[in-house]
Amino acid sequence: MIEALPQASLRCRAFLDDRSPPTPCLVVDLDVVRESYVRLREALPEARLYYAVKANPAPEVVRLLARAGAGFDVAGREEIELCLAQGVRPELISYGNTVKKARDIAFAHRAGVRRFTFDSLPDLENIAGHAPGSTVSCRILVDSPGSQTPFGQKFGCSPEMAADLLTRAAALGLDAEGVAFHVGSQHLDPGAWEDGIAAAARVTRAVAARGVSLRGLNIGGGMPGRYATEPPPLAEYAAAIRASVERHFPVAPELAFEPGRAVVAGAGLIRSEVVLVSRKSPTDEKRWVYLDIGRYGGMAETENEAIAYRLETAHDGTPDGPVVIAGPTCDGDDVLYQRTPYRLPLALRAGDFVDILETGAYTQSYSSVSFNGFPPLRTYFLGGEPGEVGEFAGRHVLAEFSGVSPEVLDDAGFLCDSLQRALEKAGATVCELTFKRFEPQGITVLALLSESHASIHSYPERGSVFVDVFTCGRRADPELAVHLLQELLGAGAARTQTIHRGQEDG
């Protein structure tokens, strides 16, 4: 749908080749996010666009889209706070989740949010009670057989019930705007919106007959990313939706849509490493390729093999064979593809990279916090405009390396040298480096950086080193610096924590 944007993967790959960050990691090209947003706006200029934050809730993405003028569809309180922190005005936020706590509705209202979607009487009554006078839409259930990640029966109510609830909304003093529906995500059929639009028109007529005039129609998300199956062009979706609206609504409604995937999918590329290539028996044609990323590391949408990502390796074009692709954890469900007929080069070995394309949507935020000890998916951002991430915003990485040899812990020169090399390789500028030896507790090394500061403290009694790296802006990568330092010091293990600071600055 979003026409080919080869510069996304080229730029992301160049960054990965240059920086060699630890894998797995996701690289997001913010310029591609902006371009995809503009193309969607141009395709349906008559519709207000509310970006579905859940698709990629990175502050960098939200801030960029806020500056581009987008509205935001949020799932709950935390996404509201995230949007507000990135400078989104509350009137541009739509609380689209139909499952919400009364106190979260009250919070949203206090924060200035005035648009809500509901699909049940209890939720509608909560909105009337805690967000009086707000603008509301009622979500209807639609069939979405063509969606690759359908919602099933979870959201929406019958059109008949929607007509009753919207009439009731008006009676409760709310601004009943219209009907909302979502055809299910990753839709390859541009005609998929037809039934929902027809049903919404019927509800609108039924409500009008009871004296309540609805003016809006929210057609949700569902526009696709480019995975293994090439989707139709965006223009076909826009034309089909426009034709359906004209067919069913005698007076054009105020349209809104909530694309998530189509805004961000194409901007992301994941680099993973092959951990192991094996067979289940010597005669098996199928190899098992285990990657260092799996279902719990960000590839959640491979559940039921719903989303078949495109893969690239350095051996592409050489002879290949069938594979099962699995993740690195000790969970039997952590298998990405065993029915989808993937083939990978026969030359593929442990240590090779497998790049997973079009992975800007529904990946990082799905990665677990530490299932099997694996950290959440690291993300790097390219492009964007200066100031899009506050120059004072940054990352603070704290770590303890254990298993460091006594000689290293006592060698001030080597500690200074290693810290400087790791920081510079990670893009930081070291302005001054100083150290002090504390008898008998160890050595402290302090680096003053253009981007802020870093320090290490050796702790001979524990055989460990404490590390603290803080960098502002996006030029330096403190996580990479800590990773490189661990290697240089020959540390056996590391416990690392990253804290994001000051995202609202800029």
Interface residue with ligand PLP among 182, 226, 287, 483 (CB under 6 A) is 182
Q: Does residue 431 have an active-site annotation?
A: no
Which of 59/222 has CB closer to ligand PLP? 222
Which of 248/261 has CB closer to ligand PLP? 261
Amino acid at 418: S
Beta-carbon contacts of 139 under 8 Å, excluding residues fewer than 6 positions away, are 98, 117, 118, 119, 155, 156, 157, 162, 179, 180, 181, 182
323: left (phi over 0), alpha (psi -120 to 50) or beta: beta
Do residues 323 and 312 lie in contact, with contact meaning Cβ atoms separated by under 8 Å?
no
Tokens 């080597």 belong to 414
Q: CA of 469: how far to CAs of 26, 292, 305, 419, in Å?
A: 21, 26, 39, 10
Kindly state whether residue 185 participates in binding ligand PLP, applying the rule CB under 6 A: yes
Map the footprint of ligand PLP across residues 226-265, applying CB under 6 A: 258-262
Which of 204/218 has CB closer to ligand PLP? 218
Q: Which of 244, 452, 458, 464 is catalytic?
A: 452
Rounded least distance, CB 96 to ligand PLP, Å: 4
Choices 104-112, 217-225, 269-277, 438-446; region in contact with ligand PLP by CB under 6 A:
217-225
Q: Does residue 248 have an active-site annotation?
A: no
Residues in the chain: 506
DSSP 31: H
* Binding-site size, ligand PLP (CB under 6 A): 16
Which of 237/401 has CB closer to ligand PLP? 237
Q: Which of 416, 457, 458, 464 is catalytic?
A: 457
Q: How far apart are the first and last CA of the chain?
A: 33
Which of 71/390 has CB closer to ligand PLP? 71
Which of 139/474 has CB closer to ligand PLP? 139
Tokens 């260092």 belong to 292
Kindly state whether residue 196 participates in binding ligand PLP, applying the rule CB under 6 A: no
Do residues 50 and 96 lie in contact, with contact meaning Cβ atoms separated by under 8 Å?
yes
Number of residue whose CB is nearest ligand PLP: 221
Instruction: Transcribe 46-64 into DSSP letters.
Output: TEEEEEEGGG---HHHHHH
Choices 159-167, 203-211, 220-228, 288-296; region in contact with ligand PLP by CB under 6 A:
220-228
User: Which secondary structure element, helix H or strand E, spans residue 73, and what is its range?
Assistant: strand 71-74
Omega before 145 cis (within 30°)? Answer: no
Which of 226/261 has CB closer to ligand PLP? 261
Q: Does residue 452 have an active-site annotation?
A: yes
Kindly state whether residue 223 participates in binding ligand PLP, applying the rule CB under 6 A: yes
On the 0-12 / 13-18 / 19+ scale of CB atoms within 10 A, 291 is buried
Q: Does residue 157 have an active-site annotation?
A: no
Q: Which of 182, 244, 472, 483 is catalytic?
A: 472
Distance from C-alpha of 259 to C-alpha of 376, rounded to nearest angstrom: 25
Map the footprint of ligand PLP across residues 384-443, applying CB under 6 A: none
Rounded least distance, CB 143 to ligand PLP, Å: 16
Q: In degrees, to the nearest 5, what angle opens at C-alpha 210 toward C-alphas 204 and 216?
A: 25
Kindly state whether residue 220 participates in binding ligand PLP, applying the rule CB under 6 A: yes
User: Which secondary structure element, helix H or strand E, spans residue 118, and what is its range?
Assistant: strand 115-118
Kindly state whether residue 221 participates in binding ligand PLP, applying the rule CB under 6 A: yes
Interface residue with ligand PLP among 216, 222, 294, 298 (CB under 6 A) is 222
Interface residue with ligand PLP among 21, 24, 96, 156 (CB under 6 A) is 96
Beta-carbon contacts of 179 under 8 Å, excluding residues fewer than 6 positions away, are 137, 138, 139, 140, 162, 166, 199, 200, 203, 204, 214, 216, 217, 218
Which of 231/327 has CB closer to ligand PLP? 231
Rounded least distance, CB 457 to ligand PLP, Å: 46
Rounded least distance, CB 265 to ligand PLP, Å: 8
Active site residues: 330, 452, 457, 472
Binding site for ligand PLP (CB under 6 A): 52, 54-55, 73, 96, 182, 185, 220-223, 258-262
